[in-house]
Amino acid sequence: MRLGPDITRIAALLGDPARANMLSALMSGEALTAGELAREAGVTAQTASSHLAQLEAGGLLTRRIQGRHNYFTLAGRDVAEAMEHLALLADRAGHMRTRPGPRDPALRRARVCYDHLAGDAGVAMLDALISQGRIADHEGALALTDAGRAFARDFGVCLETTGRRPLCKACLDWSVRRSHLAGVLGAGLLARIYELGWARRLDGTRIVAFSAPGLRAFEQTFGPVPAASGA
C-alpha cells in the first residue's frame, strides 16, 4: 500500500527477538531500567542501549530519567494492545518461543495486561459482568450500564477519567482467544483486587497470583474461574 501509515518500520522493530522480549517484559505495566531490559532480552548493555534507542525513536517506548537510571515504559496502552493481538496470532499459528513450562498455566490463568486483568480470570470477569447486566455487549462494543456504575461505586472503583480512554473496552485475550475487560473499569477493578488483598502480581512476571481466600472472594463476586486454558 503506497498511501497511509507505513507499518513496515513498526513490524521491523517488533521482528527482532531481543526487542520483542523487551516489549513483552514491559507488558506488566511497570517501568524497567535499561539493565533489567538487557537481562530480559539476553543481550549486553551496549546492545540493549541500541535496541532501546530504536524502540524509543519508533514510538513504542517512553524513557524517564530518574537519578542515574533510565526507566522505560510502553509508549501507551495501544502498544500493549498491539502486543496482545500479535501474541494471539502467534499462538494461533503455533509459533511458540519455548515449550510450556511450570509458569505457563499460571500465566494463562491470570496475568496483567498492561493495567488490567487477563487470562482465564479476566475473561471470566467480563463474562460475569455481562451476564449480571453490569456491562452491555453490543457486538463487541461494551457499554457500562446503570447497574454497572452502581456496582463499581459499591466495589470501590472510581470511574472518573481524563482524556479519551473508554470506561469499558474489550481486549482480545491471546491465551483464551476471547475478550477480557480493559478501559477505565478494567484497570480500576484490577487495582481494587490488589487493594483488597485478593491477589498480587508475582515479582518479575506478569502472573497475577490469587490467595485461596482471594480466589473465593473473586468467584463469589464474578463467578468461577475455569482451569488454565490449553494452547
Candidates 182, 112, 177, 173; CA nearest to 141 is: 182
- On whether both 123 and 203 belong to a single domain, the answer is yes
Stated pTM of the model: 0.77
In a domain, 40, yes or no: yes
Residues whose CB falls within 8 Å of the CB of residue 111, separated by 6 or more in sequence, listed in order: 117, 118, 119, 122, 206, 207, 208
Q: What backbone torsions phi and psi does residue 106 show, to the nearest 5 degrees?
A: -65, -40
pLDDT of residue 231: 35
In a domain, 2, yes or no: no
Here the CATH number for the domain that contains residue 53 is 1.10.10.10
In a domain, 176, yes or no: yes
Give the end of a domain, one of 75, 98, 130: 75
147-194 pLDDT, tens per residue? 999 999 999 999 987 678 899 999 989 888 899 999 999 999 999 999
User: From CA 173, how far away is CA 175, in angstroms rounded?
Assistant: 6
79-125 pLDDT, tens per residue? 998 898 888 888 787 777 654 444 688 989 999 999 999 999 999 99
Candidates 36, 62, 64, 63; CA nearest to 48 is: 36
In a domain, 207, yes or no: yes
195-230 pLDDT, tens per residue? 999 999 998 889 999 999 999 999 999 999 986 544
| Average pLDDT of span 61-74 | 90
pLDDT of residue 192: 98
pLDDT of residue 139: 85
